[in-house]
Amino acid sequence: MFLKNSRYFGLPTVTAPDRAGASVAAVKLRPLPSTPGLEVTVRSHDQLDATSEQRYGDATRYWHIADANTELEAGSLLEPTGRTIHIPNS
């Protein structure tokens, strides 16, 4: 289902119906350990990939920030403005 280099490779999956009733597979939610890092306040111009690039030197590691905040959709981390989010050290 996922490439071997995917962070989802090998994780348990569940099957559920979509809105049309078709069966779809999804990765089972997993509890994540608390990680050391910074608490930051979201500003109106923030972008998750830019924050990841600045913090880790790699814009594609935005999912580390999403995981640390237990968000299912990374883009929702930046809403609403003024929200406090956790940015892990690594």
Domain-wise residue ranges, the chain: 1-30, 32-88
Residue 72: count of CB within 10 angstroms of its CB: 7
86, amino acid identity: H
Per the model's pLDDT, the better-predicted residue between 55 and 75 turns out to be 55
- pLDDT the model gives residue 84: 94
- pLDDT the model gives residue 50: 95
Question: Which of 26, 32, 23 minimizes the C-alpha distance to 12?
Answer: 26
Residue 31 has pLDDT above 80, yes or no: no
Thinking of the domain 32-88, which architecture would CATH place it in? Answer: Roll (3.10)
- pLDDT the model gives residue 71: 77
